[in-house]
């Protein structure tokens, strides 16, 4: 493939970032936005061309339907050793092509949406600069040819996420949230880095193609080495997964994501719903053939994913802030994807289902990106209208904001898994894969799906129905620039499910026909409908039922509302243990013991100087006395030693 | 009874030690000077005795003694002069008054 | 007796001529011309120094022995005498202003005459190859200094210093002579060469005592700890010019003589006896000198202790007991002369102008007298061994020379010495700090120091800067040492 | 003598010293400083180009531009110069920082004396990097150390007397060990007999120093240089010293002078005594590993900007020594890159801290806040510096740290790899303290109303910071260039001896 387009896909956002970052403050808002949107638009077009060419041009598909993996270009960037080389390249395979579409689409929508949402904000140009930076980093991440390139862009998305979360830097909460996000993901990245180190130590390569095309070779190259009872490959994969846990907000590293909602809402839509947070899923998918080798690593993925999915769904039921609800829903949905990846591996279930989970996961990633972005942007419109994040300040908004209402509803239906909306198809595949792997996990995930439907509709009803509070100004729909993305994404959410996804994206790059597994599909739809009905019953208009339930299970409510006190736990660990327990004592130790020792050399010298002061008493006879003693000692000691 | 070198050397040593003792204990500077003279004379005796008893073929010890006596005289003269100076300013020849500069 | 032997003592004779001329000038010239005496002396001394560098006039081309081996001269000995001459010229230059002050009117001549006599004594000490000659040199280098110390008649401190000095000096020379008598008793001769031959077979308590007493006697003049206790008091009490003379010239000459005695007399018992004595003395000297120097506020006293510790470093050149070490020692002495005289030059200039000698008085000096403080700073850096100043090179070479010996013990010794350089750096920096960093309300006002003082400072500062960078000095000394007859004594 | 290009690295500063001595007013002083530092940048660029040309032409010598002039003949001391990729990298670093430092001290009081000392310091630095003779190397090393005393003592702030004295004495303490080590090396430089030499290349060529002596001399030299490299537990001069030093001095000191330590550790301790390095590396690995993590932890609780940065330097410089001790090509390359990177970014940090301090007159982060609103330019630069420090890709910190980690992890010994992982942890802690500062200092509401009237950066401050930022970004974006530049040095000699790599 021609490398011009791929280069431009990365270069344009970077250029936009540099232009807007350096010269932005001299520009008008309009010019900056126009530049940003134009840049992103171009990237969008180029990405679509690239991705669609990849998917549909016959030369990239073999005779047996096998899609090729293309390394469009691969420039040596930093050669550690002869084998270990970081290259910056452009790798095209089904998932990266799909991600190109997802990222550019959502990013473009957000660029457009922000025009209205961020209008008149201070630092408007900066905002667009950061968005461009993020788009660049995210695109670089998905097209990485080697694991270290991925790590590089992994860090860059982290940094741009940091900058965007902290966009309202005057607010303490935003600053704290951005810091938290960065540090938590940084901690996870440490695992990622060590994982890379371990893996590369044994395989002597960073290259994805080399690792994934013949995974058994990876296994051989470790030579069966073990560390603390587990094989080094398990260690490496689990550590790499840790990185994914951080970015994708898996328990216990999820705590940053809800706080990240302090950023502007479009940013939440882009980064914290659609693209960056699925990087972890993408990472595991990228390394999937290697993960398939290691049952224990995938087992960990499944367990973490399943627990996180359930946990996040529980918590989402008891939140007040609509963005938080969406954030927890995101966590839960990403956990779905993780679980799907975990259950896709060999060793369990029927052979025909191998790789189903992989496809399902990617499918869900795709659809989720669309409808979750839609929901976030919708929430943004709501917040824009009522100037509050809490549903308590909302209610009955369906009359005032029809476009928002309908698009939001579509989003909710999609996530709840109601056909024919896109979420149904992808979630169904995931559940099918889960059931195939193990019925227990299938049931568990179905339960989570039910909870999903419940909390989404709880939110929906509380916002758009329930009781109408007194509005100072009648809320109204958002301006056109904000509505267009909503409508577009809603439309996508309606139809995306019918894409024959299995033809494009599968783990072995061979086409795969999706067929709805009726028992799973029907049961999950029924469950979802029941959950929606319950939600409707409880929240369609003001009634004492929610309060009663809350009173009936106060403990549960408290725990859910306080997110099972994870933040407090972290607060305790970081502040009490690390900060007060390690840093402070260390600093004290440094000042008083280490430095004290150094100072004590001086003190001791001074003391010694004081102590020998009487030697110089000023009395001649004492001088002579010391003289004599000195001479005699000199003679005496030498005589004893020598003779 | 034959007088060997040791019979002269031991008194000389005693003289020397007495000089040292006197120098360290006497507070009067003149007395200290006398003690010093004792020490120097002990040295002279040593030289002479060594020369006379052990190496009688040359006169090095004798000559050294002569020069040493001269040097001792010079030293004493100078010391007396300085002590007088000190007496002028301190009105005392007590060595303990020489303690202005210390530490 | 062949009187032409006297001609081998060219430098001594030259010095004698200078002395006589100065004496005659002082005695017979009318009162109004007396003020020129310091300048005349300086010029005469300068001529002598220059002549010393011209082999055709004074210098000896080879190694000559006179008076049946009591006196010896060689290029190395000429070199050390020349080094001393240079130092004396600078001292004289710096003393002109002081010697011409009112208080000194009556005693001007005495100062110069006594000074020249002591220098003569030092010459003898360096050249002697017989203990009689040596003791004559030692005493004539030491006794007039007591008189010079007492020169400041109005100052009580001056008397006290002189008293302490004369008493301890005589005591020390008594001990020294006691040691000599032991040596004589053992070897039957006072010729260095004879003792050298027979001393190794006489290993007994008496010999150990003898060596210890000789070391103590000479160590007294070098102010090695614990024989150093007079140093600080005398330096403080004596007039500044005398102190500077005492601290560099006397010390330099004695150090060389000490080396000669240890090598040429006791060379055969190096590793048995005096190597270990010197280890102990060096460690004590450097450490104790440094520890005392830390707390001094009086600049002269401060430099006294600094010179005590410097003496320890000088000893490092001897303990190595090789040509490289001795050459480094001579080089060290040369550099030390320049560095210390720069410091004393500044102290003297300030004392002459304002009468203040405390370190606290120096606070903020760089604002009012930037050049003086710059010279002082260079002197301190050089003494502390900071490159690119000469002190660094001399320290480095003396350590290199010492380590040439190669045993682990010497490495440990040098390490101790090196650690002590940190302490010394501390107190040298205290002076720099006082001048450059501390602020003070009653700063010494700006004054213009005398022409002669400035000239002296320029010379010393030039020396501090160039002595190290110009490599031929050390190289020349080392080559000379390697070629000399002395080198046969070394391992 | 003057036909060798390298000697001009010393000549130019000396000419500058002369020029400064003649200057009458501040404009002339600035002109001299800027012209001189530009000349130095030009010179280092020229040397770099020449060097690359020579390498491209197939020159395989360990050093180029080698020249040597006899100085003290009896001791075989030469003024010997020569450079390889590492020295050139260091020369470029130094000239850039001297340039930036000149601008950062644009309005210093008593500029003449200040620049005199500063240039004297840089003379020492440049001389050190071009020397391949142990004696001249050591001489220039000490020349670079002593001006610090006055620069901090006179132009510093806070508890400057104490800090200046402490810094000087501790560094000189290090050089005391060093001197012993160097002389020891000299005396064992010709194991098979023949002329003793101070020349590094010759010593390396003469074959290995006697093994027993190596085990004695290696710790001496390594600790000697390690003190300047802020190795635990000899790092305590660094926080106090930096906190009291004026801006340009902090820049030069943290940026260049601390690199002398790492450079010396490699060039002397490791290069000449590889066997001992191999055997004793574990002791120093523990110490430097502690430095890395410990410095970072300490930085987390400090509230004075300079203290934070000083401890961060302890951590980063610890990483340099850590990587050098890994004794493999990649890690050592990383170490040198870390030196470059840390030099530039810490200089940037100190420049910014100085500029902020110059305006607010406080360095306590608890006394400041919301600087982003008041001085956006400086704040953005601070964020960039912070990002470089915590290892954001695209800036220099990332490439150097990654090279170190990857290289260190290639070590075949489990102990080394576990320690590498421990050192990796520092990247998280670094993020913690950097973001803590950024959050408190730059973001949030304005803490002190009086700060609202403060102005943003002046043009010279901008020039100073932009130079550094561009350099940081250049390394971060094109690491392979520097990698190759440095890498070449590690190819031939040293590893062959060990049979490593």
Contact residues, C window 145-174, toward B, CB-based 8 Å cutoff: 146-147, 150, 153, 156-157, 159-164, 166-167, 169-171, 173-174
> How far, in Å, CA of A378 to CA of A368, rounded?
15
Asked if D431 has any chain A CB less than 8 Å from its own CB, the reply is yes
For chain A, residues with pLDDT lower than 70 are 1, 345-354
Chain-centre distance for alpha carbon D396: 14
C427 pLDDT band (50/70/90 cuts)? very high
Chain A residues closer than 8 Å to B103 by CB: 613, 616-618
Percent of chain C with pLDDT over 90: 59
Measured CA to CA, the distance from residue D85 to residue D55 in angstroms comes to: 10
Residues of A in contact with B20 (CB under 8 A): 628
Chain A: nearest CA to D77, how far in angstroms? Answer: 35
Residues of D in contact with A201 (CB under 8 A): 409-410, 417
Cβ proximity of C68 and C129 under 8 Å: no
The overall average pLDDT reported for chain D is 89
Chain D residues whose beta carbon lies within 8 Å of the beta carbon of residue A176: 439
Interface of B with C (CB under 8 A): 16, 19, 23, 29, 32-33, 36, 39-40, 42-43, 46-47, 50-51, 54-55, 58, 60-61, 63-64, 67-68, 71, 74-75, 78-79, 81-83, 85-86, 89-90, 95, 98, 100-103
Tens digit of each residue's pLDDT (9 = 90 or more) over D439-496:
888 888 888 888 888 888 889 889 999 999 999 999 999 998 888 888 877 765 556 5
> Is C399 within 8 Å of D179 when comparing Cβ atoms?
yes
Contact partners for chain C, using 3 or more CB pairs closer than 8 A, are A, B, D
| CA dihedral over C468, C471, C476, C478, signed as positive or negative | positive
pLDDT recorded at residue D327: 84
Whose structure tokens read 């959950």? A531
Interatomic CA distance for residues C149 and C261, integer angstroms: 27
Q: Is D373 on the interface with A (CB under 8 A)?
A: yes
Name the token pair of C130.
Answer: 């017989």
Residue predicted with more confidence, A439 or C112: C112
- CA nearest C423 in D: which residue? D169
Give the residue from chain B lying closest to C158, CA to CA.
B86
User: CA separation (Å) from A239 to A217, A284, C212, C430?
Assistant: 20, 11, 73, 56
**Contact residues, chain D, for A597 at CB < 8 Å:** 233
Q: In Å, how far from its chain's centre is CA D277?
A: 21
Name, in order, each residue with C-beta under 8 angstroms of D216's C-beta and a sequence gap of 6 or more. C411, D184
Can you spell out the DSSP letters for C362-419?
A: GTTHHHH-HHHHHHHHHHHHHHHT-TTSHHHHHHHHHHHHHHTT--HHHHHHHHHHHH
pLDDT digit string, tens, across residues C314-330: 999 998 888 888 899 99
Which among A618, A624, A628 is the nearest to B99, CB-wise?
Answer: A618
CA-closest candidate to residue A77, choices A138, A8, A139, A146: A146
pLDDT > 70 fraction of chain D, expressed in percent and rounded: 98
Residue with token string 């568990």: A444
Distance CA C480, CA C62 (A): 11
**Residue among C89, C96, C94 nearest C116 (CA):** C89
Q: Which of A462, A306, A372 is nearest to A106 (CA)?
A: A372
Asked if D338 and D476 count as a contact pair (C-beta separation under 8 A), the reply is no
Residue of D nearest to A175 (CA): D439
Q: How far apart, in whole angstroms, are the C-alpha atoms of residue D45 and residue D57?
A: 18
Other CB atoms within 10 A of residue C471 CB: 17
* CB contacts, 8 Å: A642 with chain C: 203, 208, 272-273
Residue C300, chain B, CB below 8 Å: the answer is no
Q: Tell me which of A433-442, C50-59, C292-301 is least confident.
A: C50-59
Tell me which chain C residue has its CA closest to the CA of residue D73.
C475
Give start and end residues of each alpha helix (H) in D73-130.
Answer: 85-104, 111-130
Interface of D with C (CB under 8 A): 71-75, 77, 135, 138-140, 142-143, 146, 149-150, 153-154, 160-161, 164-165, 168-169, 172-173, 176-177, 179-180, 183-184, 186-187, 216
Min distance C426 CA to chain A CA atoms (Å): 10
Q: In this structure, what token pair is assigned to residue D59?
A: 């020159």
The C-alpha of D150 sits at a distance from chain C's nearest C-alpha, in angstroms, of 8
- Ramachandran bin of A564, using left for φ above 0, alpha for ψ from -120 to 50, beta for the remaining angles: left
pLDDT tens for chain B, 103 residues long, are 678 888 899 999 999 999 999 999 999 999 999 999 999 999 999 999 999 988 888 888 999 999 999 999 999 999 999 999 899 888 888 988 888 888 8
Task: Return the pLDDT at D494.
Answer: 56
* Nearest residue to C342 via CA among C368, C315, C374: C374
pLDDT digits (tens, 9 = 90+) for D169-223: 999 999 999 999 999 999 988 888 788 899 988 888 887 788 888 999 999 999 9
Check residue C24 and give its pLDDT: 93
- pLDDT surpasses 50 at D501: no
ipTM: 0.92
Of D237, D301, D442, the CB nearest to A579: D301
Chains with at least 3 CB pairs less than 8 angstroms from chain B? A, C
DSSP 8-class letter at B97: G
Q: What percent of chain D has pLDDT over 90?
A: 43
Distance between C460 CA and the closest CA of chain D, angstroms: 20
Burial label for A352, CB within 10 Å (0-12, 13-18, 19+), is exposed
Residues of chain A neighbouring C220 (CB-CB closer than 8 A)? 627
The DSSP string of C341-361 is: HHHHHHHHHHHHHH---BGGG
Q: Locate the chain C residue with the closest alpha carbon to B22.
A: C171
Task: Give A638→chain D minimum CA distance, Å.
Answer: 28
Site of tokens 């880095």: A193
pLDDT of residue D469: 93
Q: Residue D81: beta bridge partners?
A: D67, D131
Report CA dihedral (C179, C183, C189, C190) to the nearest 10 degrees.
-40
Kindly state the helix (H) or strand (E) to which residue C312 belongs, with its residue range: helix C299-319
């Amino acid at each position: 493939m021609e490398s011009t387009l791929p280069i431009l896909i990365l270069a344009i956002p970077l250029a936009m970032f540099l232009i807007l970052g350096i010269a932005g403050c001299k520009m008008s808002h309009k010019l900056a936005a126009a530049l940003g949107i134009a840049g992103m638009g171009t990237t969008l077009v180029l990405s679509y061309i690239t991705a669609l060419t990849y998917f549909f041009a016959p030369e990239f598909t073999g005779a047996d339907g096998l899609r090729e993996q293309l390394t469009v270009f691969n420039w040596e960037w930093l050669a550690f050793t002869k084998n270990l080389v970081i290259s910056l390249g452009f790798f095209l395979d089904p998932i990266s092509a799909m991600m190109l579409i997802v990222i550019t689409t959502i990013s473009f929508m957000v660029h457009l949406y922000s025009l209205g949402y961020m209008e008149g904000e201070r630092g408007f140009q900066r905002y667009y600069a950061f968005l461009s930076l993020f788009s660049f980093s995210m695109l670089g991440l998905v097209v990485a040819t080697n694991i270290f390139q991925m790590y590089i862009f992994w860090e860059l998305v982290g940094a741009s996420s940091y900058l965007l979360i902290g966009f309202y830097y005057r607010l303490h909460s935003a600053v704290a949230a951005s810091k938290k996000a960065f540090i938590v993901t940084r901690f996870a990245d440490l695992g990622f880095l060590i994982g890379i180190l371990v893996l590369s130590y044994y395989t002597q390569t960073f290259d994805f193609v080399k690792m994934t095309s013949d995974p058994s070779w990876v296994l051989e190259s470790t030579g069966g080495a073990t560390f603390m009872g587990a094989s080094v490959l398990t260690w490496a994969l689990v550590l790499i997964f840790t990185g994914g846990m951080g970015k994708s907000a898996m328990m216990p590293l999820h705590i940053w994501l809800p706080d990240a909602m302090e950023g502007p809402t479009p940013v939440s839509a882009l980064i914290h719903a659609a693209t960056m947070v699925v990087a972890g899923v993408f990472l595991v998918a990228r390394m999937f053939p290697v993960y398939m080798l290691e049952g224990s690593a995938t087992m960990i993925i499944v367990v973490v994913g399943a627990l996180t999915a359930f946990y996040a769904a529980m918590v989402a039921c008891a939140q007040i802030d609509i963005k938080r609800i969406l954030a927890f829903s995101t966590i839960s949905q990403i956990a779905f994807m993780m679980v799907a990846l975990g259950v896709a591996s060999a060793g369990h279930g029927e052979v025909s289902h191998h790789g189903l989970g992989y496809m399902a996961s990617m499918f869900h990633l795709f659809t989720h990106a669309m409808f979750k972005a839609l929901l976030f942007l919708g929430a943004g419109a709501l917040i824009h209208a009522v100037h509050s994040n809490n549903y308590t300040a909302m209610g009955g908004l369906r009359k005032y904001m029809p476009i928002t209402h309908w698009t939001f509803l579509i989003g909710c239906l999609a996530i709840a898994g109601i056909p024919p909306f896109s979420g149904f198809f992808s979630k169904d595949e995931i559940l099918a894969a889960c059931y195939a792997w193990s019925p227990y996990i299938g049931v568990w995930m179905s339960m989570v799906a039910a909870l999903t439907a419940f909390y989404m509709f709880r939110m929906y009803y509380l916002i758009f129905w329930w009781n109408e509070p007194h509005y100072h100004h009648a809320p109204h729909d958002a301006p056109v620039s904000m509505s267009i993305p909503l409508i577009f994404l809603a439309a996508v959410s309606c139809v995306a499910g019918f894409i024959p996804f299995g033809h494009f994206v599968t783990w072995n790059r061979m086409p795969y026909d999706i067929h709805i597994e009726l028992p799973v599909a029907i049961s999950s739809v029924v469950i979802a409908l029941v959950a929606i009905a319950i939600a409707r019953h409880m929240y369609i208009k003001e009634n004492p039922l929610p309060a009663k339930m809350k009173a009936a299970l106060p403990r549960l409510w408290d725990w859910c509302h306080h997110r099972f006190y994870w933040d407090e736990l972290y607060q305790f660990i970081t502040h009490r243990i690390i900060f007060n327990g390690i840093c402070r004592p260390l600093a004290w130790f440094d000042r008083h013991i280490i430095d004290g020792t150094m100072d004590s050399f001086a003190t001791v010298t001074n003391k010694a100087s004081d102590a020998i002061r009487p030697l110089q008493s000023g009395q001649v006879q004492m001088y002579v006395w010391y003289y004599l003693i000195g001479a005699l000692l000199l003679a005496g000691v030498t005589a004893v030693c020598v003779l | 009874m034959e007088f060997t070198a040791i019979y002269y050397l031991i008194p000389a040593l005693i003289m020397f030690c007495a000089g040292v003792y006197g120098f360290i204990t006497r507070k009067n500077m003149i007395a200290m000077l006398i003690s010093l003279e004792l020490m120097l004379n002990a040295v002279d005796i040593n030289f002479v005795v060594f020369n006379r008893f052990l190496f009688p073929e040359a006169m090095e010890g004798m000559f050294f003694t002569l020069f040493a006596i001269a040097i001792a005289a010079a030293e004493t003269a100078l010391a007396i002069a300085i002590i007088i100076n000190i007496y002028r300013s301190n009105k005392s020849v007590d060595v303990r008054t020489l303690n202005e500069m210390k530490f | 007796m062949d009187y032409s032997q006297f001609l081998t003592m060219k430098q001594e004779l030259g010095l004698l001529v200078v002395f006589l001329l100065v004496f005659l000038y002082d005695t017979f010239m009318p009162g109004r011309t007396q003020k020129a005496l310091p300048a005349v002396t300086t010029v005469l001394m300068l001529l002598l120094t220059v002549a010393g560098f011209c082999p055709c006039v004074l210098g000896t081309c080879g190694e000559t022995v006179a008076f049946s081996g009591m006196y010896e001269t060689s290029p190395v000995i000429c070199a050390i005498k020349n080094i001393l001459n240079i130092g004396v010229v600078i001292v004289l230059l710096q003393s002109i202003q002081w010697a011409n002050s009112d208080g000194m009117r009556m005693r001007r001549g005495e100062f110069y005459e006594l000074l020249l006599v002591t220098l003569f004594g030092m010459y003898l000490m360096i050249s002697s190859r017989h203990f009689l000659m040596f003791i004559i040199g030692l005493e004539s280098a030491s006794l007039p200094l007591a008189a010079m110390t007492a020169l400041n008649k109005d100052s009580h401190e001056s008397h006290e210093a002189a008293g302490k000095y004369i008493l301890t000096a005589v005591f020390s020379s008594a001990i020294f002579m006691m040691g000599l008598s032991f040596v004589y008793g053992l070897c039957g001769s006072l010729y260095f060469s004879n003792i050298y031959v027979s001393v190794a077979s006489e290993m007994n308590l008496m010999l150990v005592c003898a060596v210890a007493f000789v070391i103590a006697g000479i160590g007294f003049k070098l102010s090695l700890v614990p024989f150093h206790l007079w140093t600080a008091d005398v330096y403080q009490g004596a007039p500044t010019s005398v102190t500077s003379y005492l601290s560099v010239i006397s010390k330099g000459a004695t150090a060389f003589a000490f080396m000669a005695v240890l090598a040429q007399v006791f060379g055969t018992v190096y590793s048995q006896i005096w190597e270990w004595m010197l280890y102990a003395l060096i460690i004590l000297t450097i450490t104790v000198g440094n520890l005392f120097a830390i707390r001094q506020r009086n600049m002269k006293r401060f430099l006294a202790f600094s010179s005590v510790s410097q003496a320890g470093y000088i000893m490092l050149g001897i303990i190595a007991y090789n040509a490289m070490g001795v050459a480094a020692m001579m080089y060290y002495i040369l550099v030390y002369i320049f560095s210390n005289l720069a410091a004393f030059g500044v102290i003297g200039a300030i004392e002459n102008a304002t009468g203040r000698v405390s370190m606290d008085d120096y606070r903020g000096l760089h604002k009012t007298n930037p050049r003086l403080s710059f010279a002082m700073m260079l002197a301190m850096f050089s003494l502390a061994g900071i490159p690119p100043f000469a002190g660094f090179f001399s320290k480095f070479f003396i350590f290199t020379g010492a380590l040439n010996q190669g045993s682990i013990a010497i490495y440990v010794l040098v390490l101790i010495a090196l650690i002590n350089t940190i302490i010394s750096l501390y107190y040298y920096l205290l002076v720099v700090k006082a001048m450059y960093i501390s602020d003070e309300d009653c700063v010494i006002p700006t004054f213009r120091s005398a022409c002669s003082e400035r000239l002296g400072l320029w010379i010393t500062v030039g020396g501090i800067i160039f002595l190290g960078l110009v490599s031929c000095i050390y190289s020349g000394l080392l080559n000379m040492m390697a070629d000399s007859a002395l080198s046969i004594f070394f391992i | 003598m003057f036909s060798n290009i390298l000697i001009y690295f010393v000549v130019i500063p000396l000419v500058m010293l002369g020029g400064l001595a003649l200057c009458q007013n501040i404009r002339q002083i600035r002109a001299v400083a800027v012209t001189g530092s530009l000349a130095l940048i030009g010179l280092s660029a020229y040397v770099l180009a020449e060097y690359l040309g020579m390498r491209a032409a197939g020159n395989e010598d360990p050093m180029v531009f080698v020249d040597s002039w006899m100085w003290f003949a009896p001791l075989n001391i030469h003024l010997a110069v020569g450079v390889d990729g590492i020295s050139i990298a260091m020369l470029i670093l130094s000239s850039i920082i001297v340039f930036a430092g000149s601008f950062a001290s644009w309005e210093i009081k008593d500029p003449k004396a200040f620049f005199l000392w500063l240039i004297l310091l840089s003379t020492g630095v440049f001389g050190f990097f071009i020397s391949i003779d142990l004696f001249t190397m050591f001489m220039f090393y000490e020349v670079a150390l002593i001006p610090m005393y006055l620069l901090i003592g006179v132009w510093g702030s806070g508890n400057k007397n104490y800090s200046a004295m402490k810094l000087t004495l501790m560094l000189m303490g290090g050089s005391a060990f060093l001197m012993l080590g160097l002389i020891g090396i000299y005396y064992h430089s010709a194991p098979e007999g023949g002329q003793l030499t101070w020349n590094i290349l010759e010593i390396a060529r003469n074959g290995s120093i006697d093994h027993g002596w190596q085990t004695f001399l290696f710790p001496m030299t390594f600790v000697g240089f390690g003190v300047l490299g802020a190795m635990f537990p000899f790092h305590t001069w660094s926080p106090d010293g930096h906190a009291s030093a004026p801006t340009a001095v902090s820049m030069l000191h943290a940026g260049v002078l601390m690199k002398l330590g790492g450079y010396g550790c490699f060039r002397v301790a490791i290069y000449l005594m590889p066997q001992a390095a191999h055997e004793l590396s574990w002791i120093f690995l523990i110490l430097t590993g502690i430095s890395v993590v410990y410095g970072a932890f300490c930085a987390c609780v400090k509230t004075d900007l300079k203290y934070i940065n000083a401890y961060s330097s302890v951590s980063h410089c610890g990483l340099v020594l850590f990587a050098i001790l890994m004794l493999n090509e990649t890690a050592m390359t990383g170490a040198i890159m870390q030196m470059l990177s840390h030099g530039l970014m810490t200089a940037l940090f100190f420049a910014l801290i100085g500029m902020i301090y110059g305006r607010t007159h406080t360095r306590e982060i608890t006394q400041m806040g919301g600087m982003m609103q008041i001085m956006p330019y400086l704040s953005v630069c601070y964020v960039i510096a912070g990002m470089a420090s915590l290892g954001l890709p695209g800036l220099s910190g990332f490439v150097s740290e990654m090279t170190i980690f990857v290289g260190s992890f290639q070590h075949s010994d489990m102990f080394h790899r576990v320690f590498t992982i421990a050192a990796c942890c520092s990247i998280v802690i670094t993020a913690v303290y950097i973001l803590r500062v950024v959050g408190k200092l730059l973001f949030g509401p304005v803490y002190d109303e009086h700060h609202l009237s403060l102005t943003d950066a002046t043009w010279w401050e901008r020039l100073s910071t932009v130079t550094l930022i561009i350099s940081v970004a250049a390394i971060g974006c094109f690491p392979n260039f520097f990698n190759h530049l440095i890498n070449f040095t590690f190819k031939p000699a040293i590893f062959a001896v060990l049979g490593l790599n």
